[in-house]
Structure 1
């Protein structure tokens, strides 16, 4: 079924424009609350947010929506997305809400929903909520209207949870770590957790003003982190995104280490200690071929999914894997969390660094990525360029040319009218030529 409001990761858009208006946020609260009011117990929803200015508006609107259908609301303030998922479980809530647009600019915002098990909602739940948004939601009787309460110890609860994922026999004593919190949701909890584990912490991106989230800082803008690591002679740099479910690392030389390298580091380390489930890891079609080859050399497998952490998580749960993620740094470690958790993933990377007692540039560079080229081609929404015979022929020719020495991924974007054309292989010139040829064919057919 086509979605009207929900995308690949909740509802997202520019604030004060549909669907990110206060009115819509209230309707989502009413619809989601009505959908999850089941049984005769007192129902509860946990609401967290990142540091965007619009978070105040959307938070209050959602409180009105949830309380109007009889749900009590627990407000935890600025907290990472994985913290909201954890608290939803821990507090036996019926629903969890994270108000965030992740790595997007401050003018955007979004709504992510978690079920009582701490996992993102199923397609069926999202479709049921969409139907209620556009329908009539029964309101609670006057005596059954919900209450709202803000709890002050949520940061401490999550900090303790994250620290508990770090091996008890290790500390971060002697490590100088630069942490970039993107002026986002983890601006307090991430530096605190690292300091409490013994690290010397240099924190940047920890002065949110409502408008500077992800602005020149964070996992999508690591240049300041790279410069700070080198200038301060730090051992490693860690960058989170606006809602702290994504992680990018910088080694002591200021070189960026992406999610593929980090997943390889964690998976091979866990495999050595006999705690890697599934005999490998789960990643998307966008992860580098070098990762797949490296894992094969270690006797480990790679399961690929469509782009999106929800697809990664679905495959992990159905196949029994406990490590998965995306090249962008969205890493899911299901032994600890029900969604991507940048801080928990960072602590696992740091554990490998401590155990190896070697520079980050050696420990975290697990393989040489093969050349990978990605280009986007815009098209008219009414056109179907990938169904054109000319495009199909060019793609078939490219697949034959790359054969076993490379890989081709062509897919329409889920958020904008573009076709994404990605190819990778050992010969950069060949890869670039293949991508250009396909892009030209798509443009001609669009």
Structure 2
């Protein structure tokens, strides 16, 4: 049976809409708190958020839920998702919560949960919590009711951890960096960390007002950053998303660089320094065939997973790999984090720049991408991928591509969209087969 609330990355939806309400957040707090009330110690949950207006509402509702079942709550305010994962583990919390809808607009929000080890919850844990949401959980009484407090030094703890991922003794003096924080969770920690390492900063997206997160800025809209890099003479541009677990780069010429090229650069750096583990880089089915070919030139496999950083991380752990990610910019460096961390990934790239004294346009152009086209088809309801006409079209296209390319057709995990992606060396063929599949989906929807 599928889960009702949890999707590919926690619970997400329109804040105060049909599902993601304060009432649901209260029940999630009670259910998750009850599930993690194990042992006789005083239990603790850590709650962070990004800068969305609705974060205040959901934070208080979750706090009420957790304290009502006997969990103490530590609120840390706006911090990146990877910071919450790290602090959950370091503060010996039983559970971590990040209130964020990542790269979505401000009117959406979400609830991401981390276990005491700092990793996102398993499907089994999520299913157990969903069952408790529907049940009447026992509430704490008298002195067992939880307390809530806010701590002020969480930002500094995360900055220290981020800087520890940068090579010992290295600095960013003389490097001009344009930084776009998407008016999101990293609006303070990212500039502070880079400034402390010596970078000359030009900042964008560092004035959140609750409504402007990801609004024509950040990793999903890097065009303004690209223009700023060129106009300011910056040597590189860094774009994070609303919760700073994604990274997109811009080279000094204003060219936008996606997660595949970032993975290629870090893989090359790790291979040369003997740091690459597991003999492979883990990526999703959406990563470009050019990345796969480049990894092969390094003697590495490219292990592919379904879309979603939790699938990437699961495969990394199974294979003993320390590098994985997504074309969209999630980059997981298992030696430093338990989830994607845009700032830590950016520092690996900056380390290569300062060590080699080469321009970003050179170090971030390690392979030529195979022509790839992605289109989204919105549907009103039903299951268009189960339609016989769609199945037949997909089968025909896969046969036509054969070994010359790839086709990936999948439903979005967060929106009513069917995503259609194809790639092959023949660009005209790619455009035609994508349109054929999209037309079949539109007819079925």
Aligned to 1:62: 62
Q: Hey, what does 1:333 align to over in structure 2? A: 333
Taking only aligned residues, the RMSD between alpha carbons, in angstroms, comes to: 1.3
Deviates more, 1:395-404 or 1:296-305: 395-404
More displaced 10-residue stretch of structure 1: 255-264 or 403-412: 403-412
CA positional deviation for 1:380: 5.4
Structure 2: distance between partners of 1:297 and 1:444 = 42
Q: Is the 8 A contact 1:386 1:442 kept in 2?
A: no
Which residue matches 1:237? 237
Distance 2:91 2:49 in 1: 17
Matches within 5 A, 1:192-341: 192-341=192-341
Q: CA deviation at 1:376?
A: 2.6
| SS in structure 1 of the partner of residue 314 of structure 2 | helix
Following the alignment from structure 1 to structure 2, what is the Cα–Cα distance between the partners of residues 430 and 384? 24
The range that moved more, 207-216 or 113-122, is 207-216
DSSP 3-state at the match of 2:12: strand
State the Cα deviation string for residues 8-33 of structure 1 (Å, max 9, x = none): 10111111113221111111111110
**1:383 Cα deviation after fit:** 4.4
Match of 2:36 in 1: 36
Residue 177 of structure 2 is aligned to residue 177 of structure 1: yes
2:51 counterpart SS class: coil
State the alpha-carbon separation in 1 of the partners of residues 182 and 212 from structure 2.
Answer: 8
Asked if the contact 2:182/2:214 (under 8 Å) is kept, the reply is yes
2:165 counterpart of 1:165: yes
Task: Tell me, yes or no, if the aligned pair for 2:283 and 2:324 is still in contact at 8 Å.
Answer: yes
**Residues 416 and 202 (structure 1), Cα distance of their counterparts in 2 relative to 1, 3 Å cut:** closer
Partners of 1:416 and 1:329 lie apart in 2 by: 19
On the 8 A contact 2:385/2:391 being kept in 1, the answer is: no
Q: Return the offset for 1:233.
A: 0.3
For the residue of structure 2 that corresponds to 1:429, the secondary structure is: helix
Structure 1 SS opposite 2:215 = coil
Q: What is the CA deviation profile of residues 291-346 of structure 1, one whole-angstrom value per residue up to 9, with x for unaligned ones?
A: 11111112111000000111001100011111001000011100000000010011
Separation (CA, whole Å) in 2 of partners of 1:358 and 1:445: 51
Inter-partner Cα distance in structure 1 for 2:80 and 2:279 = 30
Query: 1:394 deviation in Å?
Result: 3.0
Provide the residue aligned with 1:97 in structure 2. 97
CA distance in 1, matches of 2:406, 2:306: 15
**1:121-168 CA distance string (max 9 Å, x none):** 000111111111111010011111111111110000000000000000
Q: Specify every segment of 5 or more residues in structure 2 that has no aligned partner in the other structure, as ranges.
A: none
Deviation of residue 385 (structure 1)? Answer: 4.0
Separation in structure 2 between the aligned mates of residue 34 and residue 83 of structure 1, nearest angstrom: 24
1:445 CA displacement: 4.0
Q: TM-score, normalised by structure 2?
A: 0.97
Moved more, 392-401 or 344-353: 392-401
Question: Per-residue deviation at 1:436?
Answer: 1.7
Displacement after TM superposition at 1:387 (Å): 4.8
Q: Please tell me whether the aligned partners of residues 45 and 96 of structure 1 are also in contact (alpha carbons under 8 angstroms).
A: yes
- Cα distance in structure 1, aligned partners of 2:116 and 2:378: 40
SS of match in other structure, 1:287:
coil
Number of matched pairs: 445
Alignment map for 1:38-187 (pairs within 5 Å):
38-187=38-187
Alpha carbons of structure 1 residues 57 and 418: separation in structure 2 relative to 1, 3 Å: closer
**Given that residues 384 and 441 in structure 2 are in contact (C-alpha distance below 8 angstroms), is that contact kept between their aligned partners in structure 1?**
no
- 5+ residue gaps in structure 1? none
Q: What's the counterpart of residue 368 of structure 1?
A: 368
The answer as to whether partners of 1:356 and 1:363 remain within 8 angstroms in 2 is: no
Is the 8 Å Cα contact of residues 378 and 417 (structure 2) preserved in structure 1?
yes
Match of 1:17, SS state, is coil
Q: Deviations over 1:357-385 (max 9, x none)?
A: 10000011111111111223344533454
Corresponding position of 2:396:
397
- CA distance 1:398–1:80, change in 2 (3 Å): same
Match of residue 409 from structure 1: 408
In 2: Cα distance, 1:72 partner to 1:293 partner: 50
